Structure 1
Amino acid sequence: MKKILIVAPAWVGDAIMAQPLYRRLAARYPAVQIDVYAPAWTRPVHARMPEIHATIDNPFAHGSLRLLQRAGEGRRLRAQGYDQAIVLPNSFKSALVPWFAGIRTRTGWAREGRSLIMNDTRVLDPVALPQMVERFAALAQDANQPLQRPVEHPQLKVDDASRQAALNKLQLTADRPIVACCPGAEYGPAKRWPAVHFAALARMRMAMGEQVWLFGSKKDDEIASEIAALAPGAVNLCGQTSLAEAIDLMSLARVVVANDSGLMHVAAALDRPLVAIYGSSSPGFTPPLSHRAEIVTLDLDCSPCFERVCPLGHMNCLNQLEAPLANKAIEKLLLLGAHT
């Protein structure tokens, strides 16, 4: 049996985009054991990927070298007898643990001079592989092979019992259609649709008899509280759920409205109709991977700028993107769903 260790990304959205790689490895090696080395907070995502055998917590924070500790981690993993490691992050540091573990084949893209400690590095052609999901999936193949297209969309599996437990815990019901809104974006405010627009959309949907649930971490509670105050009846779940519970509850949504964020990728992988709102970023590199997604963006001359904070101080790319545009996208998705 082939045993592969995946050094996985730390961001939830990136972790989801790695799932097609796992599916391709499972198809290529029918008896493969795929273990994922990843930060603990991504466990709920990996737990919903049936191709993964086990998740091993990566204790190293972003930017942390801790060379002696990485050597210790490598010695600990050496006993597992992995045949191959596939390193998805591009940093030199991320390749150290597989090297210290003495894993025979260490695969990844040639970045930061890490060809010194990896023996199966690939040279990236960003034109041939413009999307992150493609760059991950290509590592399931031998070097110098063109990517086998199309790349499958990520898929997360949800357990009915866990979903019901989350409903019971939060005293929620799915007796009316649910609009899930995800107002956060870890990267920065230039990716966050303003609360006033989310609230206006929430009022529109609630007037049609739908529920509006706001999803996010504790960091998103401030903007979610503002939305809930402007749209009485919207349920603020930010900071009230674990990531696992958020995934399970979002799977019930009739439609999801999200910024370019980890939860946007969660919604896409759950195959929920999705309105993805883009401001400072671009769907070219990390689009929502779903056939049921509508991208809403103004395509201003100053965007995408890829900045965390608007360099011009006006954030017109999101301030001028008002609720009726997102609502129109919702109606388009629901109409398409009615005819499929």
Structure 2
Amino acid sequence: MTTKILIVRSSSLGDLVHMLPAISDIARHVPHARIDWVVEENFAEIPAWHPAVNEVITVAHRRWRKHWWSRQTRSERAALRDTLRSRQYDVVLDMQALMKSVWVVRQTRGLRHGLDRKSAREPLASFFYDVKHAVKFWQPAITRQRELAAAAFGYQYEGPPDFGLQAFTEGQPIEPYAIIMPSASRPDKLWPAEDWHAVFDRLQEHGLGLKLLAGNDAEAARGQALVAGRQGAQVLPRMSLTDIAKVLARARIMVGLDSGLTHLSAGLGRPTIGIYKASTPVRTPLQGAAYTASLGERGSAPSAQTVLSAVELALDYSKPAPLTGQSSGEQDAST
């Protein structure tokens, strides 16, 4: 018998990446699960990547709130309401526990699960759930999401997180370039140019090209300034999230500020180094199948030398296997 499930988690990019292992857990432990996912329209690609997601239902809070009472917004909100009310779910699971996610949950039909008031970031949200779950706050976001899903469906999860992104990684060759994410939406997250230059030098000493990501014109200009006059470096044009994921999946290494794309790189199983300066890695550390390093802390950026040391470890981890008859055990002993 099919279990119809609606996941409510609309944003942001990094938080959606952190959700993917919980979706894998649900698919593994709930027989015949049919999973729909409500997500912000700009991030609709992310749930669609996961093979266990049946349908992606979009909201547009970021766009609607600018013109909440306009005719177009009212029409789009009514269409969403009609879509949600036309379906009966066995479980509606709010993985966000914010009033904006509750706004969606209240329009659904099904048993509504969410965090209790001591676990939710916005405690008022908990009053709108039929079933409330306690999940410790100060632990990694991926762990919180996996624990909430396990509590809602009554299973015990185990093993490392599975992001369900094999479609990007299986059979893909690793190419000799590094992905760099030097920009952020907040200036207090930025890392000094001279420190980036030291990282660029080291990566190029290892024979790697540099591909810088930029999400808007200001970030592109910053990237161009950082690599001005440097051979083998380029600022990539704006791309869809799917195209970025494809580029990340083939990279030898990624070094980036604490951003959703840096977390996506880790989820894709690429060696990834995250630079934290205005946020703490306690709740959002990088996690993935390859080497990851979450460096720095709120108010205390990592030094260039700390990042360079992590670069060496990451490159050693991602070193191609030898072409001789040497066994993997012999290779490990020699490194």
Q: Normalization by structure 2: what TM-score? A: 0.81
Distance 2:148 2:175 in 1: 43
State yes or no: 1:58 paired with 2:53: no
The aligned counterpart of 2:245 is: 247
SS at structure 2 position matched to 1:100 = coil
Letter in 2 for 1:105: L
Give 1:89 shift: 1.6
Aligned to 1:139: 148
Aligned with 2:96 (options 84, 89, 92): 89
Q: Which amino acid aligns with 2:112?
A: R
* Equivalent residue, structure 2, for 1:260: 258
Tell me whether 1:209 sits opposite 2:203 in the alignment.
no
Gaps of 5+ in 2: 117-121, 320-330
Q: Which residue of 2 aligns with 1:331?
A: 312
- Which of the residues 107, 110, 113 maps onto 1:107? 113
**One-letter amino acid of the structure 2 residue matched with residue 220 of structure 1:** E
Matched, 1:74 2:75: no
Mapped to 2, the partners of 1:204 and 1:144 lie a distance apart of 47
SS at match of 2:44: helix
Aligned to 2:180: 181
Question: How far apart in 1 are the matches of 2:309 and 2:151?
Answer: 44
Q: How many residues align?
A: 307
Residues 179 and 255, structure 1, Cα contact 8 Å, conserved in 2: yes
Deviates most, 76-85 or 50-59: 76-85
Cα distance change, pair 144–8 in 1 and its aligned pair in 2 (3 A): closer
The Cα of 1:70 is off from its aligned counterpart by 5.0
Percentage of matched positions with identical amino acids: 23
- Shift in Å at residue 326 of structure 1? 2.3
Change (3 A) 1:88 1:143: closer
Deviation at 1:268?
0.6
For 1:84, the aligned partner's letter is V
Give the alignment's TM-score, normalised by structure 1: 0.79
Q: 195-204 vs 284-293, which deviates more?
A: 195-204
Q: 2:315 corresponds to which letter in structure 1?
A: L
Deviation at 1:62, TM superposition (A): 8.2
User: Residues 30 and 153 of structure 2 are in contact (CA less than 8 Å); yes or no, is this contact kept in structure 1?
Assistant: no
Match of 1:38 in 2: 39
- TM-superposed CA distance for 1:264, in Å, is 1.0
Displacement of 1:38 in angstroms is 0.4
More moved, 50-59 vs 104-113: 104-113
Work out whether residues 107 and 139 of structure 1, in 8 Å CA contact, stay in contact via their aligned partners in 2. Answer: no
Counterpart in the other structure of 1:223: 222
- RMSD (Å), alpha carbons: 3.0
Deviation at residue 119 of structure 1 after TM alignment: 0.7
Aligned equivalent of 1:308: none
Tell me which amino acid in the other structure corresponds to 1:11. Answer: S
Conserved in 2, the CA contact under 8 Å of 1:70 and 1:100? no
SS in 1 for 2:97: coil
Report the Cα distance in structure 2 between the residues aligned to 1:144 and 1:137, rounded to whole angstroms: 11
Partner Cα separation in structure 1 for residue 307 and residue 95 of structure 2? 34
Rounded Cα–Cα distance in structure 1 between residues aligned with 2:35 and 2:174? 39
Amino acid at match of 2:287: L
Using the TM superposition, name which of 150-159 and 77-86 deviates more. 150-159
